[in-house]
């Protein structure tokens, strides 16, 4: 046995204090013979032996208490073998490995993830033969890897099988909170051993700890974990990492067609403190080893700390169809964000249907003529417009909505409904939208407001994005003007012509009422009096937009404004792609809408990297001439199949008849590798008591210190409290018997 503070053993001399007090108590009285007390004295002699035995028991308990107090302060430690033999040191250790993509950052020749695996191996080896281990991996989800005795081969195999961090993290501040919730919900109770330890091997990335509101809401969960187990956070980083990252790669051309230069933007950010100098930027087309470099550029003067810069590049595609682009910068210590991928659909034409609800015989400028010209630009635009008059829209069932990129419903009074046996135009439009189609409503004098609200809006469940309110007219000397709602994701597009919206003079418009808590959002607003001028809401896989004005000049000059032309063009392009989110963050499922003729064709998905096995997929049941294909959808295991950043190819037919590319990229927010310090983490986790070990070397020292000996001071203090309680109870009992 050894002692961490042997000098404190001299406090054991306090054991003499009860003896001295006992002796002094016996000599405190002067003996006087008194005849009257002889009778009582003789009676007392009968119980004298019992009283002395009781006093001796209390004296021994008090001496033992003093010795245990000194013993505990000296922090005794016994050999590990003895502790295990006595069964007093068995524990359940839960080792949690951070698998977010920042853990791929290199520390020398090895990644942080590899260092965390090595530390986990040491932690498992340390308790072999004297405890159980649960091994977890956490990022966007908590994944159990193995659970069992520390020496089980299955635990080792699960640890060795870990190959790389995940790229699928979209809610970084919520990652540690989600881990604590899962620990409290199911993992602390995996083992029956009373002593439990939770050890997090992480890079302590600040963005995971800086959201005070998130941690305030999770305080009870953290406290529950800390009460059930000791919690230790281990920082596996060695040195601060300077990181350059591509935070955005997107097409800024609204429509990409073959033979015409398409414009793209690339944004590079310096998340580190150092100045990297010249930065090389390269553009590649294609996937895998066969990709071809198509463009190269550079940021000559580099980037200062925290600075970002956007490059504009142009590239001309030769053929229509699906194309995959990748932009790269020189590799640094975190390679996951040194490249970014983009799926581009290169198309020759876009087909749009325009339903004209204006009664026949009206002024041609009061119908859809201006809208049709704005979409086609007199034939110079790649948009093909099919105009459908109201009488044909009502009487024909054979409209090919599925082949349309968007359907514009202009001043249409109502939409015919069908029956359960025979769907009408309303049911067909709803199915078209739910399967990825796009709808645009223009409101005018002809619309049936109750029908729009009760049937088309249907409490937020229909195809209309908002409720229709009353018509509002400006005074004779005033007009309504439009402005861009900067909170909408399409705001950067509309900002290009926001100035022109100020010249869209509108005398009258209908109020658009957005319900609270729904998915509808304002895209354009009225600069006079507020309110929404254009509202958007997802409908299934598609989307629906609603203008508060007609598509003609009957209520103002908006259709004669340049901004009108640009907006309807953008909507036609955006809605023609609304059913397929081909560019998203890693971890989001792949989804493609296909013509029903592909139902019988074999389909496969090929992912990024040589470790991705080609997987077969099967389309879901076709609806309204379309079939939906999903991959990586549903369970956590399915989502992990798309957790890698890169380009995924959906191929149809053998040989391949059709190919679609889906790009999945890392969340650029995690490129910020700044670390949270121990005091910041302790403040977030209050009142729970959490230990933070700031280096792996400190962890190794702790493991080495405890490898041969185990401290027993807590056991000594527990015994001390028990003796105090026993002494108090016995003293009260002995007194009551006298």
Q: pTM for this one? A: 0.75
Model confidence over 487-510: pLDDT tens digits?
A: 777 777 777 777 777 777 888 999
Q: Which two tokens stand for residue 715?
A: 């056991």
Q: Give me the DSSP letters along 431-473.
A: HHHHTT-EEEEE--TT--HHHIIIIIIGGGTSSSSSEEEEEEE
Give domain 583-665's CATH superfamily. Immunoglobulins (2.60.40.10)
How far, in whole angstroms, is CA 439 from its chain's centroid?
31
Among candidate residues 327, 162, 333, 143, the one with its CA nearest the CA of residue 239: 333
Tokens at 558, concatenated:
């908006």
* Bridge partners of residue 521, in order along the sequence: 536
pLDDT tens across 253-288, in order?
878 999 999 999 999 999 887 778 888 999 999 988
Is the Cβ–Cβ distance between 334 and 105 less than 8 Å? yes
CATH of domain 244-347: 2.60.40.10
Question: Which residue do the tokens 């993830």 mark?
Answer: 113
Q: Six-digit token pair at 571?
A: 């909507």
Q: Largest Cα–Cα distance in the chain?
A: 140
Could you tell me the CA-to-CA distances from 318 to 76, 262, 488, 647, 661 in Å, in that order?
79, 11, 34, 20, 17
- What is the full DSSP assignment across 272-308? SSS---SEEEEEEESSGGG-EEEEEEEETT---TT-E
Does residue 81 register a pLDDT over 80?
no
* Cβ(182)–Cβ(654) below 8 Å: no
User: Residues 6 or more apart from 603 whose CB is under 8 A from it?
Assistant: 616, 617, 618, 619, 629, 650, 651, 652
Which architecture does CATH list for 89-240+673-711? Answer: 3-Layer(aba) Sandwich (3.40)
| Cα 479 from Cα 227, distance rounded (Å) | 65
Q: Which two tokens stand for residue 210?
A: 């800086």
> Please, are residues 702 and 711 in contact by the beta-carbon 8 Å criterion?
no
Of the pLDDT bands very low, low, confident and very high (cuts 50, 70, 90), residue 313 is: very high
Position 315 confidence tier, pLDDT thresholds 50, 70, 90: very high
Rounded to whole angstroms, how far apart are CA atoms 638 and 645? 15
pLDDT per position as a tens digit, 574-616: 888 765 678 988 888 888 878 777 878 889 999 887 667 788 8
Structure tokens given for 458? 């249907």
Query: Which range (159-173, 470-484, 629-643) has the least confidence?
Result: 159-173
The whole-angstrom separation of Cα 123 and Cα 95 is 8
Is 70 exceeded by the pLDDT of residue 40?
A: no
Looking at the DSSP bridge assignments, the partners of residue 314 are: 263
**191 and 92 in contact (C-beta within 8 Å)?**
yes
Tokens standing for residue 359:
């009664």
Beta strands in 317-359 (DSSP E): 321-329, 339-346, 350-356
Q: Do domains 89-240+673-711 and 360-575 have the same CATH topology?
A: yes
- Rounded Cα–Cα distance for residues 100 and 188 (Å): 23
**Under CATH, to which class is 360-575 assigned?**
alpha beta
Which residue bears the tokens 């400028």? 365
Domain boundaries, the chain: 2-81+716-737, 89-240+673-711, 244-347, 360-575, 583-665
Confidence of residue 85 (pLDDT cuts 50, 70, 90): very low
The H or E element spanning position 97 is strand 91-98
Q: Is 364 helix (H, G, I), strand (E, B) or coil?
A: helix
Kindly write down the DSSP assignment for every residue of 30-50, as one continuous string. Answer: -----GGGHHHHHHHHTTHHH
């Amino acid at each position: 046995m050894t002692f961490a503070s042997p000098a404190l053993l001299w406090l054991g001399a306090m054991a003499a204090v009860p003896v001295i007090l006992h002796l002094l108590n016996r000599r405190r009285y002067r003996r006087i013979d008194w005849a009257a007390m002889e009778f009582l004295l003789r009676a007392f002699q009968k119980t004298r032996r019992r009283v002395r035995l009781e006093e001796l028991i209390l004296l021994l308990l008090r001496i033992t208490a003093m010795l245990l107090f000194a013993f505990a302060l000296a922090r005794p430690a016994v050999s590990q073998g003895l502790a295990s033999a006595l069964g007093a040191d068995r524990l359940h250790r839960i080792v949690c490995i951070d698998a977010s993509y920042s853990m791929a950052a290199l520390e020398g020749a090895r990644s942080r993830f590899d260092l965390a695996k090595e530390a986990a191996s040491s932690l498992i080896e340390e308790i072999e033969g004297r405890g159980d281990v649960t091994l977890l991996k956490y990022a966007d989800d908590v994944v159990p890897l193995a659970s069992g005795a520390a020496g089980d081969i299955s635990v080792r195999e699960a640890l060795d099988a870990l190959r790389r961090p995940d790229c699928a993290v979209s809610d970084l501040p919520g990652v540690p909170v989600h881990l604590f919730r899962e620990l409290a919900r199911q993992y602390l109770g995996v083992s029956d051993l009373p002593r439990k330890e939770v050890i997090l091997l992480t890079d302590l990335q600040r963005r995971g700890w800086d959201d005070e509101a998130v941690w305030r809401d999770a305080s009870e969960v953290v406290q529950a974990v800390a009460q059930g187990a000791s919690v230790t956070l281990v920082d596996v980083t060695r040195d601060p990492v300077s990181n350059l990252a591509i935070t955005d790669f997107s097409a800024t051309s609204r429509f990409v067609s073959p033979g015409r230069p398409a414009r793209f933007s690339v944004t590079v950010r310096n998340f580190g403190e150092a100045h990297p100098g010249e930065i090389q930027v390269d553009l590649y087309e294609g996937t895998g080893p066969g990709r071809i470099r198509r463009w190269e550029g550079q940021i000559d003067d580099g980037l200062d700390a925290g600075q970002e810069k956007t490059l504009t590049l142009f590239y001309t595609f030769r053929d229509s169809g699906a194309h995959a682009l990748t932009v790269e910068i020189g590799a640094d210590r975190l390679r996951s964000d040194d490249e970014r991928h983009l799926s581009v659909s290169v198309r020759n034409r876009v087909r749009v249907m325009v339903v004209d609800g204006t009664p026949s015989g009206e002024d041609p400028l009061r119908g859809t003529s201006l809208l049709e010209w704005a979409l086609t630009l007199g034939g110079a635009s790649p948009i093909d417009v099919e105009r459908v008059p109201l009488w044909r829209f009502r009487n024909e069932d054979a409209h090919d909505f599925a082949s349309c990129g968007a359907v514009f419903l202009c001043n249409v009074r109502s939409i015919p409904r069908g029956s359960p046996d025979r769907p009408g135009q309303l049911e067909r439009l709803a199915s078209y939208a739910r399967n990825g189609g796009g709808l645009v409503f223009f409101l005018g004098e002809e619309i049936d407001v109750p029908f729009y609200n009760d049937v088309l809006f249907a409490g937020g469940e229909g195809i209309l994005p908002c409720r229709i309110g009353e018509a509002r007219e400006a005074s004779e000397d005033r007009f309504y003007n439009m402005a861009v709602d900067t909170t909408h994701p399409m705001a950067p597009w509309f900002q290009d012509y926001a100035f022109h919206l100020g010249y869209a003079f509108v005398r009258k418009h209908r109020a658009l009422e957005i319900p609270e808590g729904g998915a509808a959002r304002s895209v354009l607003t009225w600069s006079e009096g507020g309110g929404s001028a254009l509202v958007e809401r997802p409908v299934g896989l598609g989307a629906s937009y609603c203008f508060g004005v007609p598509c003609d000049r009957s209520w103002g000059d908006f259709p004669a404004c340049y901004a009108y032309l640009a907006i309807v063009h953008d909507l036609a392009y955006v809605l023609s792609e609304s059913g397929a989110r081909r560019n998203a963050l890693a971890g989001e499922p792949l989804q493609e809408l296909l013509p029903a003729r592909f139902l019988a064709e074999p389909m496969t998905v090929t992912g990024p990297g040589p470790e991705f096995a080609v997987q077969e997929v099967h389309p879901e049941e076709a609806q309204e001439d379309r079939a939906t294909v999903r991959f990586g959808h549903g369970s956590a295991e399915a989502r992990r199949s798309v957790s890698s950043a890169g380009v995924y190819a959906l191929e149809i037919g053998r040989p391949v008849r059709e190919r679609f590319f889906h790009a999945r990229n890392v969340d650029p927010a995690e490129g910020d590798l700044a670390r949270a310090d121990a005091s910041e983490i302790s403040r977030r986790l209050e009142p729970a008591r959490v230990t933070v070990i700031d280096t792996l070397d400190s962890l190794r020292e702790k493991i080495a210190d405890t490898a041969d000996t185990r401290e027993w001071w807590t056991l000594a203090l527990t015994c001390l409290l028990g003796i105090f309680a026993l002494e108090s109870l016995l003293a009260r009992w002995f007194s009551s018997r006298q």
